[in-house]
Structure 1
Amino acid sequence: MRTGLVTTPFGRRPMTLALVKGQLQSSDDRIGRPVEKWKVFRDISEARQLLGLHDRALAVLDALLTFYPSNELTAGAKLVVFPSNAQLSVRAHGIAGTTLRRHLAALVEAGLIHRRDSPNGKRYAHRGIGGQIDDAYGFSLEPLLLRAGELAGLAQQVAAEKIRFKRAKEALTLCRRDIRKLLTAAVEEGADGDWCMMEDLYHALIARLPRSPNRKIVETILVEMGNLREQIVNCLEMQIKTEKTDTNDIQNGCHIQNSDPESIYELEPRFEKELGAKVEPTKITQRETPKAFPLGLVLRACPQILDYASGGGIGHWRDFIGTAILVRSVLGVSPSAYQQACEVMGPENAAVAVACILERAGHINSPGGYLRDLTTKAERGEFSLGRMLMALVRANAGETTMQAG
């Protein structure tokens, strides 16, 4: 039996079976080769969260290690340090006495040091004739020697977790960038697809990210974000294949006829009356009308136009164009400026441009002049209505977030 290898704490501090187990393990003759104390300390610092330690506890452990003269912890050596609380407080950067005692208890609880209390609870050493230490009472550093390998493994585990977390965050950042730019490109170039729904899915995923997410949350969102990106790419890929097929058909002599070239202007008969001129069908067929954006996306970007809608709702492009004509009049845009925009952009996109101007009316001095400028740029291919829409979508999303907060 090895009863002399276990010591009990002084005073009211209780003895536990965990302390007995730790002291017996520390006294095992199979303790390995010497270890460098500061390397063990660095491993503990890396693994402090796994060990349940705070930064102040590390400061106390650092101070304890400075009282051990050698840089190596060796089996068979006297690994007990015996500084007073006053000395420890100084080396622990002036930590208060109650805080010091609490973190010493945390180090003992974590199994990193053991108490070796004297009969009166004070810390001191018995020295021989030559000044060497024969026996000492204080804190034993033997657990650090015993657990050096385990602590190194914990530190490596934490380091690997940090790398995995960092790469997950990087992958999520790249995925977010891909989705953002793919959606913008799809909307700007008028690609077919329910981009409004995909935009909603994207913002819903972003909203699920807390301010300080952990790795599991990031990886979960990354999987769903990756699925959304794949869905967007597949949709665009199908459209590219369809366009390629259509191009081949045209090159082979196929002719696609517009069954109703005047239907665009027939959506809103009041428009012809307001302009005071009859639209010539030949002009419509000569100009290639740009593809309209999804109505749901436009209403998300330009919600103010709903204030002017009959009944407060817009369900079809016919309603939207009619409301845009009313807004055109409210903004003071001349009929000629609006007609020119319709000829260049198409009636739907001209109405969208007016709705965008309404959203930014407080920052635009002359809405009519601004619309003419946009029309001129669009005719030269220098203006992207899709980019303006996406900027308004993001701006409105930011305002909604601030209001919710």
Structure 2
Amino acid sequence: MTYAYHPGAGFRRFDNAAASADQLAQAFRGLPEGSGPGHALAAFKRAAAYLAIPPSVVQLVDVLFAWTKPEDWRSASTPVVWPRNDKLARKLGLKVRQVQNLLDRAIALRLISHKDSPNGHRGGVRAPDGTIKWAYGIVLSPIGTRLEEFKAIAARGAREDDEIDALKRRLTAARRRTASLAQAALDGMVVGTGAEEELALAQSAARQMRNVRDISLLTGCVEQIEQRGRDLEGKVAAFLLEREALNHSAESNDIAPMGVNECIHSTTTTQPQTAKAVTSSRLAEKGSGNYDVRSAVPQSEVEEDLEKHGVDPDFIESVTPELCGSLGLGRRGWGELVQLAEQLADQNHIHRHAWHEACRIMGQRGAAASVIATVRKYQAGEVERPGAYLRGMSGRAAKGELNLGRTFHGLKDLRQAGAMRTMQAGGDPRSVGDIARRAMSQFVLSGRSS
């Protein structure tokens, strides 16, 4: 009968990591003058975070240092400790097998070595003066040998921490600045600056860079967000300055002598116009951007709510580009939006009576915004009967319970959340309607230039 012979059975595994740890242990010539085991342990702990050493291994080394004495770290000595694995297990609150795994991990990290007795047991004896007479067990010399290495790593890591903290403070400041500019653009109804997209990008960058320690990557990200913030600030400032100049010019032109025939007097009426008055041929003659529905009739409560929340044609188009894509080809105004709402009502089976009732109660701008919100939810599968839904909105508006401005800001938040999920998945955050609208706009502009 043939028996298999395993010469390594029952012995400690010896590999490249164990050989490297033994070399470090043999190279130990004592700690520098004025240094003790506490200095070595402190240097190791400070460097451990930058060496990706697991906390469980750090705790193991800390417990092992409890059995060593300053005499063990002199030039003619070797720091050896000999606690049994079951005792270490009680100290660490682990199982014996887990302690064995931690010891193997510490050897692989070149932190400890082993000095085995002939029978494989740990043990040792100290002289009356505290020096080790003989000992077999766990050797801590590699940590002493690597003392200067640990100090250098800890110092370099601290410098990197300071630099990373400074970069993250800059990133936070840039994100907050972008948010402030986006709010200013919203309050001032500034369009065409891409403020919302810049804010979403800055917020995403702040989240993605939260745990990054690559200084070059973090620096590039911070500089890009800061530059984009400066560009956005320039756009918003230029738009506000241009608007201020136009307002000043308009105020100057409003001053006219008495009795001039061209002076137009505004009139009011208690009879609201019908939707057909908005979509008549006279509307087209006035021009897509010059007509203002607000000048036709007094504002309803719903229209006042829209104005209070900054919901204008540009805002509605940015939230529902799939429905309002055609508005981007020319100058935008409430007249075009009302006409579009009538078309959407016809296309989505909303009865004309429901549309006229919405115009009577909410005003033409409020009715148009309500139809667009209704159709947006209908196409998203949130509404089954758009006509009934619009009548319900009219009923709430009649009671003063309709908050249409909040509805559109909710649609805006949903759109931004969807765009962020798309960006995280590596896709284009813009909707199909938005992409098509921009492509068509570029096509029209190129045709005009040619």
1:48 and 2:54 matched:
no
Distance 2:196 2:421 in 1: 19
Q: Amino acid of the residue matched to residue 415 of structure 2? A: N
Matched with 2:116 is 117
Q: Amino acid of the residue matched to residue 20 of structure 2? A: A
Q: CA 1:13 to 1:120, structure 2 compared with 1: closer, same or farther past 3 Å?
A: farther
Distance 1:188 1:354 in 2: 24
Measure how far apart 1:32 and its partner are: 0.7
Matched with 1:190 is 189
Q: How does 1:89-128 map to 2 (within 5 A)?
A: 89-97=89-97, 99-126=98-125
Distance 1:115 1:36 in 2: 21
1:200 and 2:197 matched:
yes
Matched with 2:316 is 298
Measure how far apart 1:67 and its partner are: 1.6
Distance 1:22 1:384 in 2: 73
Conserved 8 A contact 2:37-2:73: yes
Matched with 2:270 is none
Q: Amino acid of the residue matched to residue 336 of structure 1? A: R
Q: Deviations over 1:11-49 (max 9, x none)?
A: 54247763454134313x6x4124354454344334324
Q: How does 1:243-258 map to 2 (within 5 A)?
A: 243-246=243-246, 253=252
Q: CA 1:338 to 1:225, structure 2 compared with 1: closer, same or farther past 3 Å?
A: same
Distance 1:185 1:394 in 2: 17
1:336 and 2:338 matched:
no
Matched with 2:212 is 214
1:144 and 2:161 matched:
no
Matched with 2:27 is 25
Q: CA 1:270 to 1:11, structure 2 compared with 1: closer, same or farther past 3 Å?
A: closer
- The percentage of aligned residue pairs carrying the same residue is 16
Distance 2:296 2:358 in 1: 25
Matched with 1:367 is 393
Conserved 8 A contact 1:35-1:148: no
Measure how far apart 1:64 and its partner are: 1.0
Distance 2:202 2:237 in 1: 23
Measure how far apart 1:246 and its partner are: 4.3
Q: CA 1:313 to 1:246, structure 2 compared with 1: closer, same or farther past 3 Å?
A: closer
Matched with 1:324 is 341
Conserved 8 A contact 1:26-1:146: yes
Q: Look up the SS of the partner of 1:298 in the other structure.
A: helix
Distance 1:66 1:334 in 2: 81
Matched with 1:5 is none
- Normalising by structure 1, we get a TM-score of 0.67
Measure how far apart 1:286 and its partner are: 12
Matched with 1:6 is none
Q: Amino acid of the residue matched to residue 94 of structure 2? A: G
Conserved 8 A contact 1:274-1:335: no
Measure how far apart 1:81 and its partner are: 0.9
Question: What root-mean-square deviation, in Å, do the aligned CA atoms of Structure 1 and Structure 2 show?
Answer: 5.1
1:355 and 2:372 matched:
yes
The aligned length equals: 362
- Normalising by structure 2, we get a TM-score of 0.61
Distance 1:292 1:11 in 2: 75
Measure how far apart 1:86 and its partner are: 1.9
Q: Look up the SS of the partner of 1:47 in the other structure.
A: helix
Conserved 8 A contact 2:319-2:412: yes
Q: Amino acid of the residue matched to residue 93 of structure 1? A: G
Conserved 8 A contact 2:80-2:136: yes
Matched with 1:3 is none
Measure how far apart 1:248 and its partner are: 5.8
1:272 and 2:271 matched:
no
Q: Look up the SS of the partner of 1:35 in the other structure.
A: coil
Distance 1:354 1:25 in 2: 82
Distance 2:397 2:71 in 1: 77
Distance 1:274 1:11 in 2: 91
Name which of structure 1's ranges 10-19 and 176-185 shifts more when overlaid on structure 2.
10-19
Q: CA 1:215 to 1:320, structure 2 compared with 1: closer, same or farther past 3 Å?
A: farther
Measure how far apart 1:88 and its partner are: 2.0
Matched with 1:239 is 239
Structure 1 runs not aligned, ≥5 long? 1-9, 263-267, 378-382
Conserved 8 A contact 1:123-1:137: yes
Distance 2:113 2:277 in 1: 93
Conserved 8 A contact 2:167-2:219: yes
Q: Amino acid of the residue matched to residue 361 of structure 2? A: A
Q: CA 1:14 to 1:222, structure 2 compared with 1: closer, same or farther past 3 Å?
A: closer
Distance 2:42 2:367 in 1: 65
Distance 1:329 1:47 in 2: 76
Matched with 1:394 is 413
Q: Look up the SS of the partner of 1:26 in the other structure.
A: coil
Q: CA 1:130 to 1:368, structure 2 compared with 1: closer, same or farther past 3 Å?
A: closer
Distance 1:334 1:350 in 2: 5
Q: Amino acid of the residue matched to residue 148 of structure 1? A: L
Q: Look up the SS of the partner of 1:137 in the other structure.
A: strand
Distance 1:357 1:107 in 2: 65
Q: CA 1:162 to 1:370, structure 2 compared with 1: closer, same or farther past 3 Å?
A: farther
Q: CA 1:293 to 1:14, structure 2 compared with 1: closer, same or farther past 3 Å?
A: same
Q: Look up the SS of the partner of 1:223 in the other structure.
A: helix
Q: Look up the SS of the partner of 1:136 in the other structure.
A: strand
Matched with 2:81 is 81
Matched with 1:4 is none
Conserved 8 A contact 1:36-1:72: no
